Chain A
Amino acid sequence: MAQHSAIAARTATTSTWIAIALILLFASIPLVSGGSFALSRYIVALAYVITAIGVNLAMGYAGEFVLGHPVIIGVSAYTAGILSARLGWSIGATLPCAIATGVLAGLLIMSPGLRVRGWYYSLITMFAVLVLPPVAMMAKPWTGGEDGLTGIKALTLFGERVPDWALFEISLLVLAASWWLTDNFVRSGWGHRLRALRDARHAAESVGIDLTHTRLVVYVLSSVPAAFAGVILAYSTRFVGADMFGINLMLMFLTGVVLGGPGTRWGPVIGMAPLLFLSFWVGPFSPYNAIGLGVGLLVGTLLFPDGVMPAIADALLKRRLRQPNAASGGNPARPSEIAASAAVFGEQYTARSGGGGATPGGHGDAHILRASGVTKHFGGNMALAGVEFNMRRGALVGLVGPNGSGKSTFLNAISGFLRPDAGSVQIDGRNTAGLPVHLISRAGIGRTFQVPQLVEEFTAIENIEVGLVAAEPHAIVSSLLQLPSTRERARARRERAVAAFHLVGLPDSAMDIPASSLPLGLKRIVEVGRAVVSAPRLLLLDEPAAGLNDAERRQLGQLLQKLRDLGMSVLVVEHNVPFMMDFCEELVLLEAGQVSCTAMLDEPLPERLVSYLNYKPTTVPASGGNA
């Protein structure tokens, strides 16, 4: 079962050793390389790779396609250069100032990402590269204008001038540190947040992840390596000119990261290497360099849509998995395992929901959800026309209604994806109407989506873990350094995710394979797992049974009842009438944006509901088809 992850772990260890060996190999370059000219070119190359690591963090892991990093390098290099050449400051003062201005520039460039998405965003950040040169021209007394900034003092540390070889080793150290810290970061809970931001934005919000905050963290962390690169460039070449930070440099980062494989640990290094060779060979300002970069980007994007590294990794992994017993088929979780995990989960659940559990009255309110007069227009279409609906704590309620009656709109309105035009929503006694999704989620709501929103490269377990990270402390520094507290959190997270994995009844064989290769039915269950792992008080399910076969549907229904027995209140939207009749205890009929009828299923059904359902218990088999 753990074969995939075992291979992945082994590969990761091997590749860490390769990284260490490479660093040591490169560290010995000054011993064999003559001339400070060659060394200074190597230092430039190191600075570019350092930047690419930051680009990869934003572009690859977080899916924020930002191209403005040359500006960050430029601002930082000018800051360090000006403070050194014009004011005579030493590295101890120029370094923090340069990092600060570089990061500020990065935040300014990337800020449109808080509102604008996709390639639109890429172009805005890309055209920021056109902004720096004219600004540098205007500030000629400081920057030297077209002539560039000269007179930067040689780097001194502890009163000694730092020789070129030492600067090279320092740059290599910065590179190794950037690589290591980034790698730690994306393997911590932040890696879950970043990938969820990239692949499953709505799901991320629905489990309480604050997207704006996550983006800002990404922007800052992605800018820091570029800012360091700027300082390195300023002290290495001791000259700063505006044309060093142009479109071609942007193109090098873009091509390097895209070609190497965005969102992989080796991608930026592998992708940048050939481009750096090309740039050294023909010169960075040569048209041949631009042709090489442009054609590389064009052909690379078409041939390797995911980059070179994933292509290699795929090939390697496939070969190793093609051993006997690799695919063990679907052996569902054993009943005893499920019972055990339900016990574990139940304990956590009661602990987390403040001892509330199944007993009503966390806030002295018998209703987990109170919606009153909830209204939502789309243009002239009134999707919700004043929904009045109270849901008892600990109930398993089905929401039915014809297409377009506003069921999904209602779910979206209470979970915050749509802001109601009017009306009030109270969850567990708290007024939540108008709050952003992630705050409503933290009030105790979990939900799933009609089209499952999963991080495709994550395994089922990791996807379930996404549901837990929002409640963890941010602990950015701890995550970067992989301190014991971060490892402890990862262990606890894994434990609870495994409990939820068994609780929702996912088969063991699904544990370790990427979500992209799971069938639709299991993807839905993984979504349920992600929604319940944080022990929400109210669970909203949007058509969970669509596309499931009879057996899967029955399992799902039993799962919902089990969750209800653990004390969760469950509201499920579904078209499948037998499913609803078999498993819910109460049905609510939504028609034309209003609740037209509510009925307990252990009592005779009202006329209205019967005519909608057209349900005759005696003639329809329990495992019938769609209504």
Chain B
Amino acid sequence: MTFTAFMLGVVSGLAFASIFVLIALSLTMVLAASGVFNFAQGTIVMGGTILAYLFAVKLGWTPLVVVSVILGVGVIAGLLTHFLSVWPAIGRAKAFAHTTVLTTIGLGTAANAVIVLLFGGESFPVPSFVTDDPVRLGSVPIRPIYIVMVLSGAALTLIIDRLIRGTALGHMFRATLEDPEGALLYGIDTRKIITLSFGVAGALSAIAGFLVAPVIHASAFTAHDLAFYGFAGMAIGGFGSFAGALVGGVIVGLIYGVVPVVLDPHLTVPVMWLVVVAVLLVRPSGLLGTAGLFGSARLREV
């Protein structure tokens, strides 16, 4: 293995990292606002890759139209997840977090299978929307789509961060993330905020699917893997912490890029699983997580 090969792994790893960060962020956002781990998030990402193929290749729409339609579909998918699998469980279930993991696993799996029925089981290449001629950085050739992925991923993360820190809505959102019951006492309609978080997370996940489609192709069978990478990023980085989602996403991306080059492509998932287990055995709340969930003083056991 040469240095160039290794650096290629690092570069593609960073490109994937920006996508995994987006998935981890959408998981974190929903988890923080509502205490739900939304397993169906992986399905929404996979749906994004398939819509990218249908709209851009089959229908030949321009990238801007494709992006806006996918954003809209993502919001709808997020809201559907909420109203089908989470909303009915509110106030009904003894262990809400636990019940919603089951319902979102059920919904996600059923939705995956429906997509297989509609779209078929094949995998279709999706052309990138930029040139495929590599840019050279020293001896390392870099695919331009990787640059697009990193830039868009970083931009989206920044936008989310600004929105949450800078606007009044963002403040309500953060109050809900920190302490839902406290927010309720301040007169914030936390149910609306929770619904909103599902919508925003859905859009974020769908756009992540759109961005990653050119490198993983459009296939109905990627949802579980994508959910796993997002979960791994969140678990390694730390519960509900946005910085944690960033760090975890990057670590997962690097494992994803480097392990196939250094060891064996088949070892990517096993190594990642072992890393997650090792991190959690040493630090059950992840690298940047605190003992109380989401950095709040309140201990919410999950």
Contact = CB atoms under 8 A, between A and B. Distances in A.
Contact of A131 (B93, B114, B269, B301): B269
A135 B225 CA distance: 15
Interface residues of B, number: 47
A320 interface: no
B107 A120 contact: no
Contacts of B98: 65, 118-119
B280 A124 contact: yes
List the 10 closest pairs (A to B, CB-CB), nearest first. Answer: A294-B110, A297-B106, A298-B106, A290-B113, A294-B109, A287-B113, A134-B266, A119-B101, A138-B266, A291-B113
Contacts of B111: 294
Interface of A: 65, 111-112, 114-120, 122-124, 126-128, 130-131, 134-135, 137-138, 247-248, 251, 254-255, 258, 287-291, 293-299, 301-302, 305
B103 A115 contact: no
B89 interface: yes
A294 B108 contact: yes
A137 B114 CA distance: 28
Contact of A247 (B37, B106, B109): B109
Interface stretch (B17-25, B183-191, B270-278): B270-278
A287 B116 CA distance: 7
A118 B277 CA distance: 15
A258 B102 contact: yes
7 contacts: A117-B301, A130-B269, A258-B102, A297-B102, A298-B103, A301-B102, A302-B93
B55 interface: no
A302 B88 contact: yes
B86 to A, nearest CB: 10
B280 A116 contact: yes
A287 B111 CA distance: 10
Consensus secondary structure, chain B interface:
helix
Given A287-B117, A297-B109, 10 more contacts: A117-B284, A123-B235, A127-B232, A127-B273, A134-B269, A138-B267, A287-B116, A291-B117, A293-B109, A296-B106
B228 to A, nearest CB: 5
A134 B260 CA distance: 12
B101 A290 contact: no
Interface of B: 37, 39, 84-85, 88-89, 92-94, 97-99, 101-103, 105-114, 116-117, 224-225, 228, 231-232, 235, 264, 266-270, 273, 276-277, 280-281, 284, 301-302
A115 B284 contact: yes
Contacts of A119: 37, 97-98, 101, 302
Contact of B105 (A117, A134, A297, A302): A297
Contacts of A137: 266
Contacts of A115: 280-281, 284
B235 to A, nearest CB: 7
Nearest to A294: B110
A134 B266 CA distance: 5
A135 B272 CA distance: 13
Given A112-B277, A115-B280, A116-B280, A295 B110 contact: yes
Contacts of A254: 102, 105
Contacts of B103: 297-298, 301-302
Contacts of B224: 130, 247
Contacts of A112: 277, 280-281
A305 B93 contact: yes
